[in-house]
Amino acid sequence: MNSTEVILLNFSEIRRRSIKLWSGIPNEYLNWKPDENAFTIIEMIRHILEGEHLFHKIIENRGNLGNYKSPWKELKYSDLKNELDFAENYRADFLSMINRLNELDLENVKIERKEVGQSKKLGDYLNRIAYHESVHTGQMLSYLRTIGIDRPQIWD
């Protein structure tokens, strides 16, 4: 496997496990949150899906978001299926972009986010994107433990 294939496998495995987790959450808990300042379950799912698109745009623009407008802005929250269906084409575009990368791109393309004092190689930046979803998966497992409902077995 080359680096791009490993990165794609990592993104695929993380999302597979996220969907396995999300699919095990009964709909009546989608608006639950541990406190007033936290995401609800459905908000966290959207945050992950929307965040991936935002990161994709950051990569396309090498760090500059310009006047980014989220396609999710006017979308009403409903359920997991609608969230995944809406994100499907954005996810495909993101993975397609990664698939077109080569070793030189991963090493030499720089993502410069001056507004947050961040300068990263593209390979590094992609791994940080994957980590973002993984962290929220851990949070979601904690939510389910707090609620007291069974947690899907994601460690297969």
List the chain pLDDT tens, one digit each, 156 residues: 899 999 999 999 999 999 999 999 999 999 999 999 999 999 999 999 999 999 999 999 999 887 889 999 999 999 999 999 999 999 999 999 999 999 999 999 999 998 888 999 999 999 999 999 999 999 999 999 999 999 999 998
156 within domain boundaries:
no
Q: CA distances (Å), 123 to each of 81, 140, 143, in order?
A: 31, 27, 31
Residue 14: domain span: 3-63+75-147
Residue 155, in any domain of the structure: no
Does residue 69 form part of some domain? Answer: no
Overall number of domains in the chain: 1
Q: What is the pLDDT of residue 66?
A: 79
Q: Is residue 80 part of a domain?
A: yes
The pLDDT of residue 64: 84
Nearest to 105 by CA among 130, 124, 118: 124
Does residue 68 belong to any structural domain of this protein?
no
Q: Say if 143 falls within a structural domain.
A: yes
Instruction: Enter the tokens of residue 1.
Output: 């496997």
Give the CATH number, domain containing residue 130: 1.20.120.450
Distance CA 50, CA 62 (A): 18
Is the residue at 19 inside a domain?
yes
Q: What share of the chain is helix, strand, coil (3-state, %, to 5)?
A: 65, 5, 30
> Is 136 part of any domain?
yes
For residue 125, give both structure tokens.
């930046």
